[in-house]
Amino acid sequence: DVKVTQSSRYLVKRTGEKVFLECVQDMDHENMFWYRQDPGLGLRLIYFSYDVKMKEKGDIPEGYSVSREKKERFSLILESASTNQTSMYLCASSLGSINEQFFGPGTRLTVL
Amino acid sequence: AQSVSQHNHHVILSEAASLELGCNYSYGGTVNLFWYVQYPGQHLQLLLKYFSGDPLVKGIKGFEAEFIKSKFSFNLRKPSVQWSDTAEYFCAVNPMYSGGGADGLTFGKGTHLIIQP
């Protein structure tokens, strides 16, 4: 079974803090994705990556950056957290760019 | 940019009722289509997918969906729902661009389904 793990299930940070959300997949997938999930808005793509050190902006990249130094790990960075970034963050991975995505359990981030 | 529309945000049914959740997308080219489900407290998991071939696809737990290209639709169905089907359901689209690449998934806003015993 594909396993996508995220470093924290719940995280509370203060406005202005730098926040790192980590995601690791164990199936040698090429592609990794970060989404945020908000009630009534569904999932929205923040960033994705097709290869190590490669990144592409999704639909809502503002206020976020990413890092992919190793194939299995994809980090989402909030340079200066703001209250409107309070959300559930979901990481996903897929074998190819057109294959189904496998999701992690999510990190519920609260920014005070 | 493509968009995905799910017609119902909240649906309440009794056990054994039939279910149909609507999904329409806006992209005019070739697409891959997915339905994901999120049970309470659990992570998103794939219910079914359509890439090509038979437009009627079957997924897990008795769900099926029909791709109607002329209507840009991919509606989810189940003949008889159970209490355990209570969950949030998301339709998602992955457009296939002419260059051969693809993008992340575009999701609908979700349908919250409640099955009453």
Residues A60-78 pLDDT 10s: 999 999 999 999 999 999 9
Name the residue of chain B whose CA is nearest to A40's CA: B109
Q: Which of A64, A103, A10 is nearest to B107 (CA)?
A: A103
B106·A106 Cβ contact <8 A: no
* Distance in Å, alpha carbon of B109 to nearest chain A alpha carbon: 4
A103·B104 Cβ contact <8 A: no
Q: Is B89 in the A-facing interface, judged by CB distances under 8 Å?
A: no
Question: Are B37 and B47 in contact, with CB atoms under 8 Å apart?
Answer: yes
Q: Is B1 in the A-facing interface, judged by CB distances under 8 Å?
A: yes
Q: What share of chain A is helix, strand, coil (3-state, %, to 5)?
A: 5, 55, 45
pLDDT in tens, chain B (117 residues): 678 999 889 999 999 999 999 999 998 788 899 999 999 989 899 999 999 899 999 999 999 999 999 999 999 999 999 999 999 999 999 877 654 444 678 899 999 999 998
| Residue A28: C-alpha distances to residues A32, A72, B101 (Å) | 10, 6, 19
- DSSP-assigned beta bridge partners for residue A39: none
Please give the Cα distance from B16 to B47 (Å, whole number): 19
Choose the mutation target among B43, B57, B90, B91 for the interface with A, i.e. most A CBs under 10 Å. Answer: B43
Name the residue of chain B whose CA is nearest to A89's CA: B43
A100·B108 Cβ contact <8 A: no
